[in-house]
Amino acid sequence: MLKKYSGHPYIMWSLIFIVFPLLLVIYYSLVKASPETGKIIFSVEGYKTFAQPLYLKVFMKSIILAIEATVLCLIIGYPIAYIISTMQAKTQKIVALLLILPMWMNFLLRTYAWMAILKKNGFLNMFLEALGLPTVNLLFSDGAVLLGMVYNFLPFMVLPIYTVLSKIDKSVIEAAGDLGANSKTVLRKVVLPLSIPGVMSGITMVFMPAVSTFVISSLLGGGRSVLIGNLVEQQFLSVNNWNFGSAISVVLMVFILISMGLMKRYDAGEKGEMSLW
Amino acid sequence: MKKLLLLMLVAVFMVTTTACGEEQVVLNVYNWGDYIDESILKDFEAEYGIKVNYEMFASNEDMYVKIKQGGTKYDVAFPSDYMIEKMVNEDMLVSFDAASLENYKHIGEKFKGLSYDINNEYSVPYLWGTVGLVYNRELVDEADMMSWDALFDEKYNGQILMYDSQRDSLAVAFKKLGYSLNSTDPKELEEAKQLLIDQKPLVLAYVTDNIKDLMLSEEAAIGVDYSGDAFQILLEGGTEKFGYSVPKEGSNMWFDAMVIPKGSEHVEAAKLFIDYMSRPEVALKNVEYVQYSTPNVSILGDLSEELKSIPYAYPSEEELDHCEVFVDPGAFVEEYNEAWVEIKAN
Amino acid sequence: MVTSFRSKLHNFIKNFYTLLIFIFLYAPIVVLIVFSFNASKYGTQWEGFTLDWYIKLFEDRAIMKSFYYTVAVAVLSSSIATVIGTFAAIGIHNMKPLRRQVMLNINNLPILNPDIVTGVSMMALFVFFKAQLGFITMLLAHITFNIPYVILSVLPKLRQMPKDILEAAMDLGATPWYAFRKVIVPEISPGIITGALIAFTMSIDDFVISFFTTGNGVSNLSIVIYSMARRGLNPKINALSTIMFVSVLLLLLIVNRQQGKESKKTYRIKGSEM
């Protein structure tokens, strides 16, 4: 009984608060106030506008940036998740909390603090100068944007991976060792595959919001580029073209859901059950 | 588990009940962040027994969407000129005769009959200013600072900060080319766009409020900024080191004013609040905190020396020559936006 | 001897890497704390130590009120989202593949949509039902975007759980509720806790969605801070963040010591039973 009805409250909730607003967005993307009569008419103008090279370029840039940030988070984050999982039980919980604590400080504050660190006359350069090393010019570069993105998304990659790693059945690892595997092989062939569910969640929680992030790029990147997030916000606020803004969002949704679906094919998944995509 | 549920229920109960159940008049005031001396709100409440619910917004556009969609009945809002014009066109504001307010007489003549509210029936000016160049005297040639050309000069490569706002940046380009900053001519827009694309390699960054920090720490030598914001730099870093100018080609003059959105249930109380803000003592207290330029001419003599000594805080007619107020571009805003995306995407 | 050196090297690398990561994570935090004591409003130079901003902070009614709402919404929304999300994850885990995929995709929407889209569409929803925007609407919006993160945190643990453990427990005579409480929950509890933590984090720092789903004088800290964007962030905010940070650290220390004492107690009892 639990299994059957456990999900029902959420199904109800999501229908009201996720699906209905989604339908609203799709509706907005397909209608526009006719310039002549002012009445609401069906229009795919938003989608057509988006198909132009200018906007597709923006779209690609956002996707690539998000992929880079996600990959970096994975490379940097997996080891730390593993390390935490090998700590004493008590320490593990504290370290996990300490990992996410910085994210409770306001995002703008943190980003401005990074600007104070990375700028020409900032703390990093002060530190380097004190050591007699050459100074760096990191602020307002693509590197600074990536750094900012990794900074803000790293805990969301680490935590799900860590929670899975922390409970990998030790006896499985011992068995592998008994069968002659050295620690590298154990890692590759046993631990890694078993941690995939956590990795998938981590990638989901990083990649998806990363695509629509733009504030980090505006601040740490010096506003030198425009991302899909900028575009959507402009359309909803400055330009008041909800038709275009919604069209962009729908395209984004479809694209990401499909690509996430494709990625899940690599997921070992439950035996004998094929995913929809 | 049960204890947790009970706790949550109590919390929800407490919060929802404290939200309602008061008979006194409550004014919903909607303003920019950190744009008022908040003790003034307390003084107002004490004097009139009217409670003030103070909410803040980050941009005119955010405010517009919130007010348009409804959901909250705001009584007083503080939009900027072009937004007021837009709201008037969309019948979103209550018409009240500004002259009927007792303290309206303290507002300077040149702040009345402005293009966005010709008959002074929708708004009362709050603070105003210009857009101009803020610069570090030690790092630039002061002679260059009277023209927008300085922002496009190779000499200042990597030392230039532009404002991250499509209208403000396009305005700079339009003015440099000798056009109106409200231009809806596609050819002129194309020229302005190209100018800004060509400028991009020279620009250090497109910034907003962090321009103050960057100027003060000498990350850049010259930037485009709102007057009030630039004044913060001058006040903090000293006027010997920093300067502000309105280039000779002309620039943007902006006004933030108080309006009463339709849907307000306390129009009389709202008018009382607006009138209160224009009282000389109140306006003075406010200006000393916010440090922007005030349209309240009765207090100009009482300003602190610090505020009086800021260049262009109270510019002459000459200095304001060729300055324009933003006008709502209507549908043309889509062209502005596309141009801006092209500039940024390059 | 060789293995000992290798394991020492291993440990050193592990610790060094962990240290690096923590320096990375906390560098900006240290900077913002330092600035909260800076007499200058801008972070450009150190103009002397001062507690002025802390004093000004407590006098600032709007900030303190919004702080209260921020914590209230964060605690409430993350708790409720954790409960709904955990049950939802169990439900989704046991769904047939097609339904599961659909639910998972729906679940992904609040995470993948730009905040402005979620914010504006939820605002449109509330306005459609003629609701007054305020605490409740903001809370509902927060719960909505929190649940997906809880589900994403709990699902991996469910997948990791041995499949027939529930049946096994019931075969041994447990009622479904008992089996749930004593078998499933302990198995997935790290996921639940992580989910709650992440939900709390998302809620405490949200601006756009909160901005468009609240009103009538209810504001949160992020809204107050972002609305200062045109004017520049007042160091009062740094002061508040510092207080928040230190409070959580203290809480952590206290809870840690409490747990330390408790585990000592059980150990002693166990020992005496021997």
Domains and CATH numbers, chain C: 60-235 (1.10.3720.10)
pTM to 2 decimal places? 0.90
Measuring CA to CA, which residue among C133, C7, A256, A237 is closest to residue B74? C133
Provide the pLDDT for residue B5: 65
Nearest to C116 by CA among A215, B149, A56, A177: A215
Percent of chain B with pLDDT strictly greater than 70: 93
B interface test, pick of A62, A135, A141, A224 with most B CB neighbours within 10 Å: A224
List the single residue in B with minimal CA-CA distance to C40: B236
Residues in chain B: 346
Distance, CA of C110 to chain centre: 16
- Domain of A57, CATH number, reads 1.10.3720.10
CA dihedral sign, ordered A25, A30, A33, A37:
negative
pLDDT-derived band of residue A275, with 50, 70 and 90 as boundaries? very low
Closest chain A residue by Cα to residue C260: A90
User: pLDDT digit string (tens) for A139-177?
Assistant: 999 999 999 999 999 999 999 999 999 888 777 878 887
B9 to chain C: nearest residue by CA?
C76
Which alpha helices (DSSP H) does B135-210 contain, by range? Answer: 166-176, 186-199
Contacts of B21 (CB under 8 A, 6+ apart): none
**Range of weakest confidence among A104-118, A147-161, B6-20, C48-62:** B6-20
pLDDT class of C211 with cuts at 50, 70, 90: very high
Same domain, A227 and A130: yes
Q: Tell me which chain A residues have a C-beta less than 8 angstroms from the C-beta of C21.
A: 76, 80, 154
- Quote the CA–CA distance of B288 and A44 in Å, as a whole number: 52
> What confidence tens digit (pLDDT) does each residue in A12-41 have?
999 999 999 999 999 999 998 877 777 788
Say whether A238 and B166 touch across the interface (CB within 8 A): yes
pLDDT the model gives residue B17: 46
Q: Determine the Cα–Cα distance for residues A61 and A34; give it in Å rounded to an integer.
A: 32
pLDDT band at A273 (very low <50, low <70, confident <90, very high): very low
What tokens does B281 get?
Answer: 């003592």
B-chain CB neighbours of C215 within 8 Å are 55, 66, 71-72
Nearest CA in chain A to C192: A163
Per-residue pLDDT at B32:
95
Question: What is the nearest CA distance from C220 to chain A, expressed in angstroms?
Answer: 11
Is the CB of residue C75 less than 8 Å away from at least one CB of chain A? Answer: no
Which chain B residue has its CA at the smallest distance from A221's CA?
Answer: B205
Per-residue pLDDT band for C42 (boundaries 50, 70, 90) equals: confident
Tokens representing B175 are 């003015």
Pick from A42-51, A170-179, B124-133: least confident: A170-179
- Given a cut of 80, whether residue A268 has pLDDT beyond it is no
Chains with 3+ CB–CB pairs under 8 A to C are A, B
A8: containing domain:
1-43
Looking at the predicted structure, is the pLDDT value of residue C259 above 90?
A: no
> Dihedral through CA C175, CA C180, CA C181, CA C187, nearest 10?
140
**Nearest CB neighbour to A57, from listed B59, B217, B345:** B345
User: What is B21-128+254-308's CATH number?
Assistant: 3.40.190.10
Chain C residue closest in CA terms to B14: C72
Substitution target in B2, B15, B80, B286 with the highest count of C β-carbons within 10 Å is B15
Over 70: is that where the pLDDT of C2 sits? no
For residue A54, list chain B residues with Cβ-Cβ distance below 8 A: 338, 341-342, 345
For residues A135 and A201, state if they share a domain: yes
Q: Are residues A67 and A129 in the same domain?
A: yes
* Contact between chains at A205 and C248 (C-beta distance less than 8 A): no
| Min distance B19 CA to chain C CA atoms (Å) | 9
Q: How far apart are CA C16 and CA B124, in angstroms?
A: 62
Share of chain C above pLDDT 90, in %: 58
* Percentage, residues of chain A above pLDDT 70: 95
Q: What is the DSSP letter of A178?
A: H
Q: Per the structure block, which two tokens stand in for A253?
A: 């949704």
B54-108 tens-digit pLDDT: 999 999 999 999 999 888 899 999 999 999 999 999 999 999 999 999 999 999 9
Domain membership of residue A179 (yes or no) is: yes
What is the C-alpha radius of gyration for chain B, rounded to an integer number of angstroms? 22
pLDDT digits (tens, 9 = 90+) for B23-49: 689 999 999 999 999 999 999 999 999
Q: Are residues A158 and A135 in the same domain?
A: yes
Would you place residue A193 in the very low, low, confident or very high pLDDT band (cuts 50, 70, 90)? confident
Q: Do domains B21-128+254-308 and B129-253+316-345 have the same CATH topology?
A: yes
Question: C interface mutation test: which of A1, A4, A6, A258 has the most C CBs within 10 A?
Answer: A6
DSSP secondary structure, C70-128, as one string: HHHHHHHHHHHHHHHHHHHHHHHHTS-HHHHHHHHHHHHHHHHS-HHHHHHHHHHHHHH
Distance CA C198, CA C45 (A): 35
Rounded to whole angstroms, how far apart are CA atoms B65 and B342?
26
Higher-confidence residue of C245 and A263: namely C245
Contacts of B217 in chain C (CB under 8 A): 42-45
Please state, in angstroms and rounded to a whole number, the distance separating the CA atoms of residues C206 and C212: 11
Q: In C, which residues are within 8 Å of A245 by CB distance?
A: 116-117
B11 — pLDDT class (breaks 50, 70, 90): low
Pull the structure tokens for residue B307: 């505020």
Q: Mean of the pLDDT values across residues A111-120?
A: 94
Q: Specify the pLDDT at position B258.
A: 97
- Contact residues on chain C for B29, CB-CB shorter than 8 A: none
Chain A residue with Cα closest to B217: A121
Residue A103, min C-alpha distance to chain C (Å): 6
For residues A39 and A69, state if they share a domain.
Answer: no
How would you class A37 by CB atoms within 10 Å of its CB: exposed for 0-12, middle for 13-18, buried for 19 or more? exposed
Look at residue A228 and tell me if it is in a domain: yes
H or E, element range at A66? helix A53-85
C191 touches chain A (CB under 8 A): yes
Residue C40 CB contacts under 8 Å (≥ 6 apart), including other chains: B236, C46, C47
Chain B residues within 8 A (CB-CB) of chain A?
Answer: 59, 61-62, 64-65, 164, 166, 200, 203-207, 210, 213-214, 217-219, 331, 333-334, 337-338, 340-342, 344-345
Give the closest of B62, B210, B333 to A115, CB-based: B210
Q: Is the pLDDT of residue A269 over 60?
A: no
Q: Looking at the complex, report in whole angstroms how far the Cα of residue B336 sits from the nearest Cα belonging to chain A.
A: 9
When mean pLDDT is compared across A84-93, A209-218, B53-62, B230-239, the lowest value belongs to A84-93
CA distances from B140 to B135, B144, B222, B309, C200 (A): 7, 8, 8, 21, 49
Q: Which residue type does C33 have? A: I
- For residues A131 and A251, membership in a common domain is answered with yes
Q: Which residue has the higher pLDDT, C180 or B265?
A: B265
Q: Please name the helix (run of DSSP H) or strand (run of DSSP E) that holds residue B13, with its range, or none.
A: helix B2-19
The confidence score (pLDDT) of residue A276 equals 31
pLDDT at site C17: 95
For chain A, say whether C247 makes contact (Cβ under 8 Å).
no
Q: What angle do CA B86, B90, B94 make, to 5 degrees?
A: 95
Which amino acid belongs to residue A75? I
Same domain, A71 and A5: no
Dihedrals phi, psi of A152, to nearest 5 degrees: -80, -20
**What confidence tens digit (pLDDT) does each residue in C135-189 have?**
999 999 999 999 999 999 999 998 888 877 877 877 887 787 888 888 888 888 8
Does the domain at B129-253+316-345 match CATH 3.40.50.2300? Answer given as: no
**CB distance C153 to C191 below 8 Å:** yes
Are residues A171 and A240 part of one domain?
yes
Average pLDDT over chain C, rounded to whole? 88
Domain boundaries defined on chain B:
21-128+254-308, 129-253+316-345
Please check whether residue B208 touches C, CB under 8 A. Answer: yes
Q: Is C214 on the interface with A (CB under 8 A)?
A: no
Q: Choose the closest CB to B209 out of C62, C131, C231.
A: C231
Find the mean pLDDT for residues A116-121. 92
Residue B204 has its nearest CB partner, among A121, A140, A238, at A140
Contact A240 B333 (CB under 8 A): yes
Which tens digit of pLDDT belongs to each residue from B270-328? 999 999 999 999 999 999 999 999 999 999 999 999 999 898 999 988 888 899 999 99
The answer to whether C107 contacts chain A (CB < 8 Å) is yes
CB-CB under 8 Å, A139 with B65: no
| Cβ contacts from A onto C, under 8 A | 267
Do A22 and A135 lie in a common domain?
no
- The pLDDT tens digits of the residues spanning A201-245 come to 999 999 999 999 999 999 999 999 999 999 999 999 988 899 999
List residues in chain C touching B: CB distance below 8 A. Answer: 40-45, 60-62, 72, 75-76, 79-80, 120, 123-124, 126-127, 131-137, 211-212, 215-219, 223-234
The confidence score (pLDDT) of residue C6 equals: 81
C28, C111, C237: residue with CB nearest A209: C111
Contact C31 A107 (CB under 8 A): no
CB B258 within 8 A of CB B126: yes
Query: Which residues, 6 or more positions from C68, have their beta carbon under 8 angstroms from its beta carbon?
Result: none
C contacts of A7 (beta carbons < 8 Å):
87-88, 90-92, 94-95, 103
State the total domains in chain A: 2
What is the overall mean pLDDT for chain A?
88
What per-residue confidence (pLDDT) applies to A260?
Answer: 84
Q: Indicate the range of A4-18, A237-251, C251-265 predicted with least confidence.
A: C251-265
CA distances to B172, B175, B182, B270, B320 from B248, in Å:
12, 9, 18, 40, 9
pLDDT band at A182 (very low <50, low <70, confident <90, very high): confident
Contact residues on chain A for B214, CB-CB shorter than 8 A? 119
Residue A274 in domain: no
Partners for B (CB, 8 Å, 3+ pairs)?
A: A, C
C237 vs A79: CB contact, 8 Å cut-off?
no
Per-residue pLDDT at C272 exceeds 60: no
Residue pair A263/A203 in contact (Cβ under 8 Å)? The answer is: yes
